Chain A
Protein backbone atom coordinates (compact mmCIF):
# COMPACT_ATOMS: atom_id res chain seq x y z
CA UNK A 1 0.00 0.00 0.00
CA UNK A 2 1.37 3.44 -0.87
CA UNK A 3 2.07 6.13 1.73
CA UNK A 4 -0.76 8.40 0.64
CA UNK A 5 -3.35 5.64 1.15
CA UNK A 6 -1.87 4.81 4.57
CA UNK A 7 -2.00 8.41 5.73
CA UNK A 8 -5.57 9.08 4.59
CA UNK A 9 -6.81 5.76 5.96
CA UNK A 10 -5.23 6.60 9.30
CA UNK A 11 -6.71 10.10 9.35
CA UNK A 12 -10.25 9.30 8.19
CA UNK A 13 -10.75 5.79 9.55
CA UNK A 14 -8.35 5.78 12.50
CA UNK A 15 -9.55 9.24 13.48
CA UNK A 16 -13.18 8.08 13.51
CA UNK A 17 -12.31 5.11 15.73
CA UNK A 18 -10.48 7.35 18.19
CA UNK A 19 -13.34 9.88 18.26
CA UNK A 20 -16.02 7.20 18.81
CA UNK A 21 -13.98 5.54 21.56
CA UNK A 22 -13.37 8.89 23.26
CA UNK A 23 -17.05 9.94 23.05
CA UNK A 24 -18.27 6.61 24.44
CA UNK A 25 -15.70 6.72 27.26
CA UNK A 26 -16.69 10.30 28.09
CA UNK A 27 -20.42 9.49 27.96
CA UNK A 28 -20.14 6.49 30.28
CA UNK A 29 -17.84 8.38 32.69
CA UNK A 30 -20.25 11.32 32.92
CA UNK A 31 -23.15 8.91 33.34
CA UNK A 32 -21.51 7.33 36.37
CA UNK A 33 -20.94 10.79 37.85
CA UNK A 34 -24.62 11.69 37.42
CA UNK A 35 -25.70 8.39 38.97
CA UNK A 36 -23.40 9.07 41.96
CA UNK A 37 -24.88 12.56 42.31
CA UNK A 38 -28.41 11.11 42.08
CA UNK A 39 -29.50 13.43 39.29
CA UNK A 40 -30.93 10.63 37.11
CA UNK A 41 -34.33 9.02 37.66
CA UNK A 42 -34.31 6.29 40.27
CA UNK A 43 -35.14 3.75 37.58
CA UNK A 44 -31.96 4.69 35.73
Chain B
Protein backbone atom coordinates (compact mmCIF):
# COMPACT_ATOMS: atom_id res chain seq x y z
CA UNK B 1 0.00 0.00 0.00
CA UNK B 2 1.17 3.49 -0.74
CA UNK B 3 0.16 4.86 2.64
CA UNK B 4 2.84 3.12 4.67
CA UNK B 5 5.29 5.42 6.41
CA UNK B 6 8.87 4.56 5.40
CA UNK B 7 10.51 2.18 7.83
CA UNK B 8 13.27 4.59 8.80
CA UNK B 9 10.72 6.92 10.41
CA UNK B 10 9.31 4.46 12.92
CA UNK B 11 10.36 1.66 15.20
CA UNK B 12 9.09 -1.85 14.50
CA UNK B 13 9.43 -5.18 16.30
CA UNK B 14 12.66 -6.90 15.31
CA UNK B 15 11.11 -10.27 14.56
CA UNK B 16 7.76 -11.99 14.40
CA UNK B 17 8.72 -14.11 17.40
CA UNK B 18 9.40 -10.97 19.44
CA UNK B 19 6.07 -9.48 18.37
CA UNK B 20 4.06 -12.61 19.22
CA UNK B 21 5.94 -13.02 22.52
CA UNK B 22 5.14 -9.42 23.49
CA UNK B 23 1.49 -9.87 22.53
CA UNK B 24 1.20 -13.13 24.49
CA UNK B 25 2.78 -11.30 27.44
CA UNK B 26 0.09 -8.65 27.04
CA UNK B 27 -2.65 -11.30 27.16
CA UNK B 28 -1.21 -13.52 29.91
CA UNK B 29 -1.82 -11.79 33.21
CA UNK B 30 -2.75 -12.54 36.78
CA UNK B 31 -6.23 -13.60 35.57
CA UNK B 32 -4.73 -16.66 33.83
CA UNK B 33 -3.23 -17.77 37.12
CA UNK B 34 -5.82 -16.96 39.74
CA UNK B 35 -9.13 -16.58 37.91
CA UNK B 36 -9.00 -19.25 35.20
CA UNK B 37 -8.40 -22.25 37.54
CA UNK B 38 -11.27 -21.10 39.77
CA UNK B 39 -13.63 -20.70 36.82
CA UNK B 40 -12.74 -24.10 35.39
CA UNK B 41 -13.29 -25.73 38.76
CA UNK B 42 -16.60 -23.94 39.28
CA UNK B 43 -17.99 -24.62 35.82
CA UNK B 44 -17.53 -28.28 35.11
CA UNK B 45 -13.91 -28.60 34.01
CA UNK B 46 -13.68 -29.85 30.44
CA UNK B 47 -17.12 -28.53 29.52
CA UNK B 48 -16.01 -25.03 30.49
CA UNK B 49 -12.75 -25.47 28.54
CA UNK B 50 -14.67 -26.44 25.40
CA UNK B 51 -16.87 -23.34 25.81
CA UNK B 52 -13.76 -21.15 26.25
CA UNK B 53 -12.29 -22.56 23.03
CA UNK B 54 -15.49 -21.66 21.17
CA UNK B 55 -15.45 -18.16 22.71
CA UNK B 56 -11.84 -17.70 21.62
CA UNK B 57 -12.67 -18.71 18.06
CA UNK B 58 -15.83 -16.67 17.54
CA UNK B 59 -14.99 -13.60 19.58
CA UNK B 60 -11.36 -13.10 20.66
CA UNK B 61 -9.61 -13.93 17.38
CA UNK B 62 -11.86 -11.77 15.13
CA UNK B 63 -11.64 -8.77 17.50
CA UNK B 64 -7.86 -9.09 17.86
CA UNK B 65 -7.55 -9.23 14.06
CA UNK B 66 -9.61 -6.05 13.82
CA UNK B 67 -7.48 -4.30 16.45
CA UNK B 68 -4.40 -5.44 14.61
CA UNK B 69 -5.64 -3.92 11.37
CA UNK B 70 -6.51 -0.62 13.08
CA UNK B 71 -3.14 -0.29 14.79
CA UNK B 72 -0.97 -1.31 11.87
CA UNK B 73 -2.76 0.85 9.30
CA UNK B 74 -3.33 3.97 11.40
CA UNK B 75 0.07 3.77 13.15
CA UNK B 76 -1.62 5.65 15.98
CA UNK B 77 -2.86 4.78 19.46
CA UNK B 78 -6.50 4.05 20.20
CA UNK B 79 -7.67 7.70 19.98
CA UNK B 80 -6.04 8.39 16.61
CA UNK B 81 -7.01 4.97 15.25
CA UNK B 82 -10.71 5.55 15.95
CA UNK B 83 -10.51 9.06 14.50
CA UNK B 84 -9.01 7.74 11.27
CA UNK B 85 -11.15 4.62 11.00
CA UNK B 86 -14.57 5.73 12.19
CA UNK B 87 -14.42 9.49 11.65
CA UNK B 88 -13.58 12.62 13.63
CA UNK B 89 -16.97 12.68 15.35
CA UNK B 90 -16.22 9.29 16.88
CA UNK B 91 -12.76 10.04 18.24
CA UNK B 92 -14.27 9.76 21.73
CA UNK B 93 -14.67 6.01 21.22
CA UNK B 94 -10.89 5.64 21.07
CA UNK B 95 -10.70 7.84 24.15
CA UNK B 96 -13.19 5.59 25.96
CA UNK B 97 -11.16 2.51 25.10
CA UNK B 98 -7.95 4.22 26.28
CA UNK B 99 -9.40 5.49 29.56
CA UNK B 100 -11.00 2.13 30.41
CA UNK B 101 -7.64 0.39 30.03
CA UNK B 102 -5.76 3.19 31.81
CA UNK B 103 -8.24 3.00 34.70
CA UNK B 104 -7.47 -0.72 34.92
CA UNK B 105 -3.74 0.13 34.83
CA UNK B 106 -4.11 2.24 37.99
CA UNK B 107 -5.25 -0.65 40.17
CA UNK B 108 -3.50 -3.40 38.21
CA UNK B 109 -0.20 -1.89 39.30
CA UNK B 110 -1.36 -2.40 42.91
CA UNK B 111 -2.11 -6.07 42.15
CA UNK B 112 1.35 -6.47 40.57
CA UNK B 113 2.75 -4.96 43.77
CA UNK B 114 0.98 -7.68 45.80
CA UNK B 115 2.57 -10.36 43.62
CA UNK B 116 6.02 -8.80 44.01
CA UNK B 117 5.51 -8.59 47.80
CA UNK B 118 4.52 -12.26 47.95
CA UNK B 119 7.55 -13.19 45.85
CA UNK B 120 9.69 -11.43 48.47
CA UNK B 121 7.80 -13.23 51.27
CA UNK B 122 8.39 -16.56 49.52
CA UNK B 123 12.08 -15.96 48.84
CA UNK B 124 12.63 -15.12 52.48
CA UNK B 125 11.00 -18.43 53.54
CA UNK B 126 7.82 -16.98 55.02
CA UNK B 127 5.71 -19.96 53.87
CA UNK B 128 7.59 -22.49 55.97
CA UNK B 129 6.68 -26.14 56.44
CA UNK B 130 3.51 -26.66 58.46
CA UNK B 131 2.16 -23.13 57.97
CA UNK B 132 -1.64 -23.10 58.37
CA UNK B 133 -4.40 -21.32 56.47
CA UNK B 134 -5.02 -19.20 59.58
CA UNK B 135 -1.40 -18.08 59.53
CA UNK B 136 -1.41 -17.21 55.81
CA UNK B 137 -4.69 -15.37 56.36
CA UNK B 138 -2.88 -13.36 59.04
CA UNK B 139 -0.01 -12.61 56.65
CA UNK B 140 -2.44 -11.43 53.95
CA UNK B 141 -4.49 -9.27 56.29
CA UNK B 142 -1.36 -7.86 57.87
CA UNK B 143 -0.08 -6.90 54.44
CA UNK B 144 -3.23 -5.33 52.96
CA UNK B 145 -3.95 -3.46 56.19
CA UNK B 146 -0.50 -1.92 56.07
CA UNK B 147 -0.92 1.04 53.70
CA UNK B 148 2.78 1.85 53.64
CA UNK B 149 3.60 -1.59 52.28
CA UNK B 150 0.85 -1.76 49.65
CA UNK B 151 1.72 1.73 48.40
CA UNK B 152 5.43 0.94 48.43
CA UNK B 153 5.02 -2.22 46.33
CA UNK B 154 2.59 -0.43 44.01
CA UNK B 155 5.33 2.18 43.52
CA UNK B 156 7.90 -0.56 42.83
CA UNK B 157 5.62 -2.16 40.20
CA UNK B 158 4.77 1.03 38.31
CA UNK B 159 8.34 2.33 38.67
CA UNK B 160 9.80 -0.85 37.19
CA UNK B 161 7.33 -0.94 34.31
CA UNK B 162 7.68 2.81 33.70
CA UNK B 163 11.44 2.36 33.39
CA UNK B 164 11.03 -0.49 30.87
CA UNK B 165 8.54 1.47 28.73
CA UNK B 166 10.65 4.64 29.02
CA UNK B 167 13.46 2.82 27.23
CA UNK B 168 11.20 2.40 24.21
CA UNK B 169 10.55 -0.58 21.97
CA UNK B 170 13.95 -1.96 21.05
CA UNK B 171 15.85 -1.31 24.28
CA UNK B 172 12.79 -1.55 26.50
CA UNK B 173 9.72 -3.73 26.21
CA UNK B 174 10.74 -5.82 23.19
CA UNK B 175 14.09 -6.66 24.78
CA UNK B 176 12.42 -7.55 28.10
CA UNK B 177 9.36 -9.40 26.81
CA UNK B 178 11.12 -11.66 24.33
CA UNK B 179 13.01 -13.11 27.31
CA UNK B 180 10.38 -12.84 30.04
CA UNK B 181 7.49 -14.44 28.13
CA UNK B 182 9.32 -17.65 27.11
CA UNK B 183 10.73 -17.79 30.66
CA UNK B 184 7.18 -17.49 31.98
CA UNK B 185 6.16 -20.58 29.99
CA UNK B 186 9.21 -22.52 31.21
CA UNK B 187 8.40 -21.65 34.83
CA UNK B 188 4.70 -22.48 34.40
CA UNK B 189 5.74 -25.83 32.90
CA UNK B 190 7.98 -26.57 35.88
CA UNK B 191 5.14 -25.73 38.27
CA UNK B 192 2.69 -27.87 36.28
CA UNK B 193 5.08 -30.85 36.22
CA UNK B 194 5.66 -30.52 39.97
CA UNK B 195 1.91 -30.46 40.58
CA UNK B 196 1.37 -33.46 38.29
CA UNK B 197 3.95 -35.53 40.17
CA UNK B 198 2.21 -35.05 43.53
CA UNK B 199 0.14 -37.94 44.91
CA UNK B 200 -3.52 -37.27 44.23
CA UNK B 201 -2.92 -34.90 41.28
CA UNK B 202 -5.07 -37.14 39.05
CA UNK B 203 -8.18 -35.96 40.86
CA UNK B 204 -7.27 -32.38 39.95
CA UNK B 205 -6.76 -33.35 36.31
CA UNK B 206 -10.15 -35.01 36.33
CA UNK B 207 -11.76 -31.82 37.60
CA UNK B 208 -9.89 -29.77 35.01
CA UNK B 209 -10.33 -31.78 31.85
CA UNK B 210 -13.16 -34.32 32.00
CA UNK B 211 -16.30 -32.57 30.72
CA UNK B 212 -19.58 -32.72 32.53
CA UNK B 213 -21.64 -32.79 29.35
CA UNK B 214 -24.88 -31.78 31.04
CA UNK B 215 -23.37 -28.39 31.84
CA UNK B 216 -22.89 -27.58 28.14
CA UNK B 217 -26.64 -27.01 28.03
CA UNK B 218 -26.37 -24.43 30.81
CA UNK B 219 -26.46 -20.85 29.48
CA UNK B 220 -24.60 -19.59 32.54
CA UNK B 221 -21.57 -21.74 31.66
CA UNK B 222 -21.38 -20.22 28.17
CA UNK B 223 -21.74 -16.71 29.50
CA UNK B 224 -19.02 -17.31 32.09
CA UNK B 225 -16.77 -18.77 29.38
CA UNK B 226 -17.27 -15.71 27.17
CA UNK B 227 -16.62 -13.42 30.13
CA UNK B 228 -13.43 -15.31 30.99
CA UNK B 229 -12.29 -15.08 27.37
CA UNK B 230 -13.06 -11.35 27.23
CA UNK B 231 -10.93 -10.57 30.28
CA UNK B 232 -8.16 -13.02 29.48
CA UNK B 233 -7.21 -12.58 25.83
CA UNK B 234 -6.77 -8.82 25.81
CA UNK B 235 -9.36 -8.45 23.03
CA UNK B 236 -11.00 -5.03 23.25
CA UNK B 237 -8.42 -3.55 25.62
CA UNK B 238 -6.63 -1.63 22.84
CA UNK B 239 -3.36 -3.19 23.99
CA UNK B 240 -2.94 -5.34 20.90
CA UNK B 241 -3.90 -2.36 18.74
CA UNK B 242 -1.07 -0.44 20.43
CA UNK B 243 1.54 -3.15 19.86
CA UNK B 244 0.43 -3.41 16.22
CA UNK B 245 1.49 0.22 15.72
CA UNK B 246 4.98 -1.31 15.77
CA UNK B 247 4.17 -4.14 13.35
CA UNK B 248 6.32 -4.46 10.26
CA UNK B 249 5.00 -3.74 6.81
CA UNK B 250 2.98 -6.62 5.32
CA UNK B 251 2.83 -8.47 8.61
CA UNK B 252 0.23 -11.20 9.02
CA UNK B 253 -3.10 -10.53 10.79
CA UNK B 254 -4.86 -13.88 11.09
CA UNK B 255 -2.10 -16.29 12.12
CA UNK B 256 -0.66 -13.87 14.68
CA UNK B 257 -4.02 -13.35 16.40
CA UNK B 258 -4.64 -17.11 16.45
CA UNK B 259 -1.17 -17.86 17.83
CA UNK B 260 -1.63 -15.24 20.57
CA UNK B 261 -5.02 -16.59 21.64
CA UNK B 262 -3.72 -20.18 21.57
CA UNK B 263 -0.60 -19.17 23.54
CA UNK B 264 -2.75 -17.42 26.12
CA UNK B 265 -4.95 -20.51 26.38
CA UNK B 266 -1.90 -22.73 26.90
CA UNK B 267 -0.66 -20.45 29.69
CA UNK B 268 -4.09 -20.72 31.34
CA UNK B 269 -4.05 -24.52 31.11
CA UNK B 270 -0.53 -24.74 32.57
CA UNK B 271 -1.58 -22.45 35.42
CA UNK B 272 -4.77 -24.49 35.86
CA UNK B 273 -2.78 -27.72 36.18
CA UNK B 274 -0.28 -26.10 38.56
CA UNK B 275 -2.95 -24.59 40.81
CA UNK B 276 -5.77 -27.16 40.74
CA UNK B 277 -3.55 -30.26 40.95
CA UNK B 278 -1.57 -28.73 43.82
CA UNK B 279 -4.76 -27.85 45.70
CA UNK B 280 -6.28 -31.32 45.15
CA UNK B 281 -3.07 -33.24 45.88
CA UNK B 282 -1.94 -31.34 48.97
CA UNK B 283 -5.26 -30.14 50.36
CA UNK B 284 -7.76 -32.77 49.23
CA UNK B 285 -11.20 -32.40 47.66
CA UNK B 286 -12.79 -30.58 50.61
CA UNK B 287 -10.04 -27.95 50.72
CA UNK B 288 -10.16 -27.59 46.93
CA UNK B 289 -13.78 -26.45 47.11
CA UNK B 290 -12.98 -24.10 49.95
CA UNK B 291 -9.88 -22.66 48.24
CA UNK B 292 -11.44 -22.12 44.81
CA UNK B 293 -14.45 -20.52 46.48
CA UNK B 294 -12.28 -18.03 48.35
CA UNK B 295 -11.88 -15.53 45.52
CA UNK B 296 -8.76 -14.68 43.53
CA UNK B 297 -6.76 -13.31 46.44
CA UNK B 298 -7.98 -16.01 48.82
CA UNK B 299 -6.96 -18.86 46.52
CA UNK B 300 -3.55 -17.41 45.74
CA UNK B 301 -2.34 -15.54 48.78
CA UNK B 302 -4.00 -17.62 51.49
CA UNK B 303 -4.62 -21.21 50.36
CA UNK B 304 -1.78 -21.76 47.90
CA UNK B 305 0.65 -19.97 50.20
CA UNK B 306 -0.33 -22.43 52.93
CA UNK B 307 -0.21 -25.47 50.64
CA UNK B 308 3.33 -24.66 49.47
CA UNK B 309 4.43 -25.19 53.05
CA UNK B 310 3.17 -28.79 52.90
CA UNK B 311 4.69 -29.54 49.51
CA UNK B 312 8.17 -31.10 49.21
CA UNK B 313 10.45 -28.30 47.99
CA UNK B 314 7.59 -25.85 48.35
CA UNK B 315 9.00 -23.35 50.80
CA UNK B 316 12.21 -22.36 49.06
CA UNK B 317 11.63 -23.32 45.42
CA UNK B 318 8.03 -23.73 44.29
CA UNK B 319 6.51 -20.90 46.35
CA UNK B 320 9.08 -18.33 45.09
CA UNK B 321 8.69 -19.70 41.55
CA UNK B 322 4.89 -19.45 41.67
CA UNK B 323 4.84 -15.88 42.95
CA UNK B 324 7.56 -14.92 40.47
CA UNK B 325 5.33 -16.26 37.67
CA UNK B 326 2.39 -14.28 39.07
CA UNK B 327 4.49 -11.10 39.26
CA UNK B 328 5.96 -11.51 35.77
CA UNK B 329 2.55 -12.26 34.25
CA UNK B 330 1.23 -9.08 35.84
CA UNK B 331 4.22 -6.98 34.81
CA UNK B 332 4.09 -8.19 31.19
CA UNK B 333 0.47 -7.00 30.97
CA UNK B 334 1.17 -3.78 32.86
CA UNK B 335 3.89 -2.95 30.32
CA UNK B 336 1.28 -3.05 27.55
CA UNK B 337 -1.09 -0.82 29.56
CA UNK B 338 1.59 1.82 30.19
CA UNK B 339 2.59 1.67 26.53
CA UNK B 340 -1.05 2.21 25.51
CA UNK B 341 -1.16 5.34 27.66
CA UNK B 342 2.24 6.49 26.37
CA UNK B 343 1.28 5.93 22.71
CA UNK B 344 -1.84 8.07 23.07
CA UNK B 345 0.00 10.86 24.89
CA UNK B 346 2.83 10.82 22.34
CA UNK B 347 0.18 11.05 19.58
CA UNK B 348 -1.03 14.22 21.29
CA UNK B 349 2.38 15.76 20.72
CA UNK B 350 4.35 15.08 23.91
CA UNK B 351 7.81 13.57 23.63
CA UNK B 352 8.09 9.99 24.86
CA UNK B 353 10.86 10.96 27.31
CA UNK B 354 8.41 13.25 29.09
CA UNK B 355 5.23 11.24 28.55
CA UNK B 356 6.31 7.97 30.21
CA UNK B 357 7.57 9.45 33.52
CA UNK B 358 4.44 11.60 33.66
CA UNK B 359 2.21 8.55 33.15
CA UNK B 360 4.13 6.57 35.78
CA UNK B 361 3.74 9.37 38.34
CA UNK B 362 0.02 9.81 37.56
CA UNK B 363 -0.53 6.03 37.69
CA UNK B 364 1.21 5.90 41.06
CA UNK B 365 -0.85 8.75 42.52
CA UNK B 366 -4.21 7.66 41.10
CA UNK B 367 -3.50 4.05 42.13
CA UNK B 368 -2.96 4.95 45.79
CA UNK B 369 -6.67 4.72 46.78
CA UNK B 370 -6.77 1.17 45.34
CA UNK B 371 -3.62 0.33 47.31
CA UNK B 372 -5.25 1.55 50.52
CA UNK B 373 -8.80 0.27 50.10
CA UNK B 374 -9.75 -3.18 48.79
CA UNK B 375 -13.40 -2.17 48.30
CA UNK B 376 -12.36 0.68 46.05
CA UNK B 377 -10.10 -1.67 44.08
CA UNK B 378 -12.95 -4.16 43.69
CA UNK B 379 -15.26 -1.39 42.52
CA UNK B 380 -12.77 -0.23 39.89
CA UNK B 381 -12.16 -3.81 38.76
CA UNK B 382 -15.89 -4.27 38.32
CA UNK B 383 -16.57 -0.95 36.58
CA UNK B 384 -13.73 -1.01 34.07
CA UNK B 385 -13.56 -4.79 33.65
CA UNK B 386 -17.13 -4.80 32.36
CA UNK B 387 -16.38 -1.56 30.48
CA UNK B 388 -14.01 -3.61 28.30
CA UNK B 389 -17.03 -5.27 26.71
CA UNK B 390 -18.14 -1.83 25.48
CA UNK B 391 -14.66 -1.21 24.06
CA UNK B 392 -14.94 -4.49 22.15
CA UNK B 393 -18.25 -3.37 20.71
CA UNK B 394 -16.58 -0.14 19.55
CA UNK B 395 -13.94 -2.15 17.67
CA UNK B 396 -16.66 -4.11 15.85
CA UNK B 397 -18.49 -0.85 15.06
CA UNK B 398 -15.26 0.68 13.74
CA UNK B 399 -14.81 -2.24 11.36
CA UNK B 400 -18.41 -2.10 10.14
CA UNK B 401 -18.24 1.66 9.61
CA UNK B 402 -14.92 1.47 7.78
CA UNK B 403 -16.07 -1.30 5.50
CA UNK B 404 -15.83 -4.98 6.40
CA UNK B 405 -15.17 -6.25 2.89
CA UNK B 406 -12.39 -3.76 2.27
CA UNK B 407 -10.70 -4.67 5.55
CA UNK B 408 -11.11 -8.38 4.89
CA UNK B 409 -9.55 -8.11 1.43
CA UNK B 410 -6.53 -6.21 2.76
CA UNK B 411 -6.07 -8.58 5.70
CA UNK B 412 -6.41 -11.54 3.38
CA UNK B 413 -3.65 -10.22 1.12
CA UNK B 414 -1.11 -10.23 3.97
CA UNK B 415 -2.32 -13.08 6.16
CA UNK B 416 -0.76 -16.52 6.19
CA UNK B 417 -4.14 -18.22 6.13
CA UNK B 418 -7.24 -17.02 4.36
CA UNK B 419 -9.42 -14.40 6.01
CA UNK B 420 -12.72 -15.53 4.54
CA UNK B 421 -16.35 -14.58 4.95
CA UNK B 422 -16.20 -16.13 8.44
CA UNK B 423 -14.46 -13.00 9.73
CA UNK B 424 -16.98 -10.54 8.30
CA UNK B 425 -19.81 -12.76 9.56
CA UNK B 426 -18.41 -12.91 13.10
CA UNK B 427 -17.86 -9.13 13.24
CA UNK B 428 -21.38 -8.53 11.89
CA UNK B 429 -22.99 -10.70 14.54
CA UNK B 430 -20.78 -9.27 17.26
CA UNK B 431 -23.42 -6.74 18.41
CA UNK B 432 -25.87 -9.63 18.86
CA UNK B 433 -23.36 -11.60 20.95
CA UNK B 434 -22.60 -8.42 22.89
CA UNK B 435 -26.31 -7.81 23.53
CA UNK B 436 -26.74 -11.36 24.88
CA UNK B 437 -23.70 -11.19 27.17
CA UNK B 438 -24.39 -7.65 28.32
CA UNK B 439 -28.10 -8.31 28.73
CA UNK B 440 -27.29 -11.33 30.87
CA UNK B 441 -24.96 -9.20 32.95
CA UNK B 442 -27.67 -6.53 33.43
CA UNK B 443 -30.18 -9.20 34.41
CA UNK B 444 -27.74 -10.69 36.94
CA UNK B 445 -27.01 -7.26 38.38
CA UNK B 446 -30.64 -6.30 38.82
CA UNK B 447 -31.70 -9.64 40.30
CA UNK B 448 -28.69 -10.02 42.61
CA UNK B 449 -30.12 -9.72 46.11
CA UNK B 450 -26.69 -9.12 47.71
CA UNK B 451 -26.18 -5.70 46.12
CA UNK B 452 -28.38 -2.62 45.80
CA UNK B 453 -28.08 -2.30 42.00
CA UNK B 454 -29.56 1.20 42.02
CA UNK B 455 -27.08 2.58 44.60
CA UNK B 456 -24.07 4.25 42.89
CA UNK B 457 -22.08 4.03 46.15
CA UNK B 458 -22.41 0.25 46.46
CA UNK B 459 -19.10 -1.44 45.50
CA UNK B 460 -20.54 -3.89 42.98
CA UNK B 461 -23.70 -2.08 41.93
CA UNK B 462 -24.86 -1.58 38.37
CA UNK B 463 -25.49 2.10 39.12
CA UNK B 464 -21.87 2.63 40.14
CA UNK B 465 -20.76 1.26 36.77
CA UNK B 466 -23.25 3.14 34.67
CA UNK B 467 -22.57 6.44 36.43
CA UNK B 468 -18.80 6.14 35.88
CA UNK B 469 -19.21 5.08 32.24
CA UNK B 470 -21.64 7.92 31.54
CA UNK B 471 -19.42 10.53 33.21
CA UNK B 472 -16.45 9.30 31.18
CA UNK B 473 -18.41 9.25 27.91
CA UNK B 474 -19.82 12.74 28.59
CA UNK B 475 -16.37 14.22 29.24
CA UNK B 476 -14.97 12.56 26.13
CA UNK B 477 -17.87 13.82 24.00
CA UNK B 478 -17.18 17.34 25.27
CA UNK B 479 -13.52 17.19 24.29
CA UNK B 480 -14.09 15.09 21.17
CA UNK B 481 -13.30 17.81 18.63
CA UNK B 482 -10.24 19.01 20.50
CA UNK B 483 -8.96 15.42 20.68
CA UNK B 484 -9.57 14.85 16.98
CA UNK B 485 -7.71 18.06 16.14
CA UNK B 486 -4.76 17.59 18.47
CA UNK B 487 -3.88 13.96 17.75
CA UNK B 488 -1.08 13.84 15.19
CA UNK B 489 -1.97 12.75 11.66
CA UNK B 490 -1.18 9.16 10.72
CA UNK B 491 -0.70 7.45 7.37
CA UNK B 492 -4.45 7.15 6.76
CA UNK B 493 -5.02 10.81 7.63
CA UNK B 494 -2.04 11.96 5.62
CA UNK B 495 -2.96 10.20 2.39
CA UNK B 496 -6.44 11.63 2.38
CA UNK B 497 -8.05 8.20 2.41
CA UNK B 498 -9.91 9.14 5.56
CA UNK B 499 -10.57 12.59 4.18
CA UNK B 500 -12.45 11.07 1.26
CA UNK B 501 -14.38 8.89 3.65
CA UNK B 502 -15.18 11.88 5.83
CA UNK B 503 -16.68 13.70 2.87
CA UNK B 504 -18.93 10.76 2.11
CA UNK B 505 -20.35 10.78 5.66
Contact = CB atoms under 8 A, between A and B. Distances in A.
Given A28-B17, A40-B248, A40-B251, A8 B265 contact: no
Interface of A: 1-2, 4-5, 8-9, 11-13, 16-17, 19-20, 23-24, 26-28, 30-31, 34, 39-44
Q: For A1, A11, A27, which residue has the most chain B Cβ atoms within 10 angstroms?
A: A27
A8 B416 CA distance: 30
Contact of A19 (B7, B256, B262): B262
B272 to A, nearest CB: 9
Contacts of A12: 46, 49-50, 209, 269
B470 interface: no
Contact of B269 (A4, A16, A24, A41): A16
A17 B266 contact: yes
B273 A31 contact: no
21 contacts: A2-B206, A8-B46, A8-B209, A9-B209, A11-B209, A16-B262, A16-B269, A20-B263, A23-B258, A24-B263, A26-B255, A27-B16, A27-B17, A27-B20, A39-B250, A41-B7, A41-B12, A41-B248, A42-B7, A43-B12, A44-B15
B210 interface: yes
Contacts of B206: 1-2, 4-5
Contacts, number: 91
B250 A30 contact: no
Contact of B210 (A4, A20, A26, A34): A4
B210 A8 contact: yes
Contact of A27 (B12, B46, B273, B416): B416
Contact of A23 (B12, B248, B259, B269): B259
B205 A43 contact: no
A23 B434 CA distance: 29
Given A20-B262, A39-B249, 10 more contacts: A5-B205, A8-B209, A23-B259, A24-B263, A26-B416, A27-B17, A28-B16, A40-B250, A40-B251, A43-B248
Contacts of A31: 15-17
Given A5-B206, A9-B209, A39-B249, A44 B262 contact: no
- Interface residue SS majority, chain A: helix
A44 B256 CA distance: 16
A38 B439 CA distance: 49
Nearest to A31: B16
A39 B16 CA distance: 13
B102 to A, nearest CB: 29
A29 B211 CA distance: 35
Interface in B396-454: 416
A24 B416 contact: no
B220 to A, nearest CB: 21
A24 B205 contact: no
Interface of B: 7-8, 11-17, 20, 46, 49-50, 202, 205-206, 208-211, 248-252, 255-256, 258-259, 262-263, 265-266, 269, 273, 416
B317 to A, nearest CB: 24
Given A1-B202, A12-B209, A41-B7, A27 B259 contact: yes
Contacts of A34: 250
A13 B40 CA distance: 13
For the complex of A and B, list the 8 residue pairs with the smallest distance between their C-beta atoms, beginning with the closest.
A41-B7, A44-B248, A31-B16, A1-B202, A23-B259, A8-B209, A40-B248, A39-B250
B250 A20 contact: no
A19 B263 CA distance: 9
A24 B7 CA distance: 25
B209 A5 contact: yes
Contacts of A26: 255, 416
A19 B50 CA distance: 15
Nearest to A37: B250
Nearest to A33: B416
A43 to B, nearest CB: 5
A41 B265 CA distance: 31
Contacts of A13: 209, 269, 273
Nearest to A19: B262
A44 B15 CA distance: 6
A27 B7 contact: no
Contacts of A8: 46, 209-211
| Max chain B Cβ within 10 angstroms of own Cβ: one of A2, A11, A26, A43 | A43
| Most A Cβ at <10 Å: residue of B11, B259, B265, B269 | B259
Contacts of B248: 40-41, 43-44
A16 B259 contact: no
A34 B252 CA distance: 10
A9 B13 contact: no
A4 B20 CA distance: 34
Given A5-B210, A43-B11, A44-B14, A23 B249 contact: no
A40 B250 CA distance: 6
A2 B209 CA distance: 12
Nearest to A30: B416
A29 B17 CA distance: 11
B49 to A, nearest CB: 5
